[in-house]
Structure 1
Amino acid sequence: MSNEHLIFPDWPAPARVRALQTTRQGGFSAAPYASLNLGSHVGDAPLAVARNRMALNTLLPSEPVWLNQVHGVTVVDVGQAACLPQADASVSNRPGGVCVVMTADCLPVLLCDAAGGVVGAAHAGWRGLCDGVIEATVACMGVAPGSLMAWLGPAIGPSAFEVGEEVRAAFLAQQPEAETAFTPASGNAGVGGGKWYADIFALARLRLAALGIERVYGGGVCTYSDAERFFSYRRDGVTGRMGSFIWLER
């Protein structure tokens, strides 16, 4: 597979930490899943998904531990996980074990420690983010949070992610400073029942900062506004899924 269709995190991770992010380009799926759809649960032809995953596997040290993502906070260790575990994050301290989360607007968060001893990947849609999927992932990594760094992948941007008052209230109930990540939608007086634009990148940074994780990279790349490069569930409804991968080199 050509690297031109992939994104490689720009962060000061240790040399043995490897990571990549797919776009929608460079695969075998037909519209509306064109073309590098990695999701086997979205209605795409199974053979096309299999071909896409096989092409990607040439860049990976082993078959990734794919998750059955449910917008929860369960975390699995890829060295001990069964096939397709129901979880929204994974961690690994075993060389060659590949963590992956799939997204199409939700925020992928990749994590590693400064010593290059453990990595993790979290699927942070607004519900999982609010309920603590980042915190759960960090806890399972088993190192001091201050030793970690994070990379935020492409997700729906703050000018497109319109949410209801209940979403804003849920975040503010746990972290009052999250108020800074919400902007009233046009014509919204901010009273109960209104609509808001949410900055999921800012919300993730607040959660990471509260844990003591100060080295945060990436963020700001909007899936909704770039139909050529990214899948977006909010934009298209029926669409594919991109993958965010991280592992320790053998």
Structure 2
Amino acid sequence: MQRKQPGLLQPDWEVPARVRAVSTTREGGVSQPPFDGFNLGLAGGDDPRAVMHNRRLLRGMLALPHEPRWLRQVHGIRVVEAARCHGETEADAAVAFDPGVVCVVMTADCLPVLFCDRNGTRVGAAHAGWRGLVAGVLEATVDALGCDPGEVMAWMGPCIGPAAFEVGDEVRAAFLEQDPGAHDAFTPSPAGRWLADLRGLARRRLSACGLGVIRATDDCTFSDDRRFYSYRRDGNTGRMASLIWLRD
């Protein structure tokens, strides 16, 4: 079994020292193909023993104060307070206000977005596929943080990039109906459809909320099969995790 040290991404944002945040890759871990190697998702058909081993490895590597509050994600807009979650609660975003409570979302092309306030008193994590994005999951998460949006910082993690995310007319129409200016995030594809900039669409929505700082990586999950899982590319595949929490 593969036992290489898992690869991690650190958000490039200036946050208070008590805020910890990280996004995982597929590198390392013990899961076997097609989930190789650091799969953290239980729902895709991987051996549960391998997934739980990877989760234990994650806790040890990051010295997590408690088990992350794993969610059962459904491409919706429900936001929960992580401290009140027991078991895998159905939601697509979580917020936390107390030290030691770890918010987490899992992705394999969808966009993970991590949040904190400038004073380091609250954090959140959201899972934003196009359905959740157009339905308002990011706005709901900002609202659940319960502070002035101008005090909120966001980091957008690895997701499918604008050269790979092909969508139909109905997806473009859903965004333009709410925000006509979103047409800049869509370009015609050779197949007669549209290539969508998921991070660009998310940035527009976060800016409209009034966020003070928005940062992002430009990593594309679809184009980098060595580092990232991609549902669009592979179908049956694993999941990365994006986590954020407050230290004491």
State whether TM-score is above 0.5.
yes
Q: Secondary structure at the match of 1:143?
A: coil
Q: Write the letter of the residue equivalent to 1:235.
A: R
State the 1:82 CA deviation.
2.6
Task: Determine the structure 1 residue equivalent to 2:137.
Answer: 133
Counterpart CA distance in 2 for 1:219 and 1:131 is: 23
Counterpart CA distance in 1 for 2:147 and 2:10 is: 24
Task: Determine the structure 1 residue equivalent to 2:16.
Answer: 14
Task: Determine the structure 2 residue equivalent to 1:34.
Answer: 36
Task: Determine the structure 2 residue equivalent to 1:107.
Answer: 111
Counterpart CA distance in 1 for 2:117 and 2:206 is: 14
Post-superposition Cα deviations, 1:25-77, rounded to whole Å, max 9, x if no partner, equal 11000000000000000000010001000000111121000000000000010
Q: How does 1:79-98 map to 2 (within 5 A)?
A: 79-98=83-102
Task: Indicate conservation of the 8 Å contact 1:208/1:214, yes or no.
Answer: no
Distance 1:243 1:88, change over 3 A: same
Post-superposition Cα deviations, 1:127-165, rounded to whole Å, max 9, x if no partner, equal 000100000001110001010010000000000000000
Counterpart CA distance in 2 for 1:187 and 1:66 is: 38
Post-superposition Cα deviations, 1:92-115, rounded to whole Å, max 9, x if no partner, equal 011000000000000000000001
Q: Write the letter of the residue equivalent to 2:152.
A: L
Q: Write the letter of the residue equivalent to 1:210.
A: A
Residue 114 of structure 2 is aligned to residue 71 of structure 1: no
Task: Indicate conservation of the 8 Å contact 2:66/2:100, yes or no.
Answer: yes
Report runs of 4+ in structure 1 exceeding 2 Å deviation.
Answer: 1-4
Post-superposition Cα deviations, 1:215-245, rounded to whole Å, max 9, x if no partner, equal 1112321000000000000000010000000
Task: Determine the structure 1 residue equivalent to 2:174.
Answer: 170
State the 1:214 CA deviation.
3.6
Q: How many residues align?
A: 244
Q: Secondary structure at the match of 1:79?
A: helix
Q: Write the letter of the residue equivalent to 1:91.
A: V
Task: Determine the structure 1 residue equivalent to 2:211.
Answer: 213
Identical columns (%)? 57
Task: Indicate conservation of the 8 Å contact 1:145/1:213, yes or no.
Answer: yes
Q: Write the letter of the residue equivalent to 1:7.
A: L
Residue 51 of structure 2 is aligned to residue 49 of structure 1: yes
Q: Secondary structure at the match of 2:72?
A: coil
Counterpart CA distance in 1 for 2:119 and 2:94 is: 19
Unaligned runs of 5+ in 1: 189-194
Q: Secondary structure at the match of 2:87?
A: coil
Task: Determine the structure 2 residue equivalent to 1:184.
Answer: 188
Counterpart CA distance in 1 for 2:10 and 2:119 is: 20
State the 1:3 CA deviation.
7.0
Q: Secondary structure at the match of 1:183?
A: strand
* TM-score normalised per structure 1: 0.95
Counterpart CA distance in 2 for 1:104 and 1:20 is: 15
Unaligned runs of 5+ in 2: none
Counterpart CA distance in 2 for 1:131 and 1:217 is: 22
RMSD of the alignment, in Å? 1.2
Task: Determine the structure 1 residue equivalent to 2:220.
Answer: 222
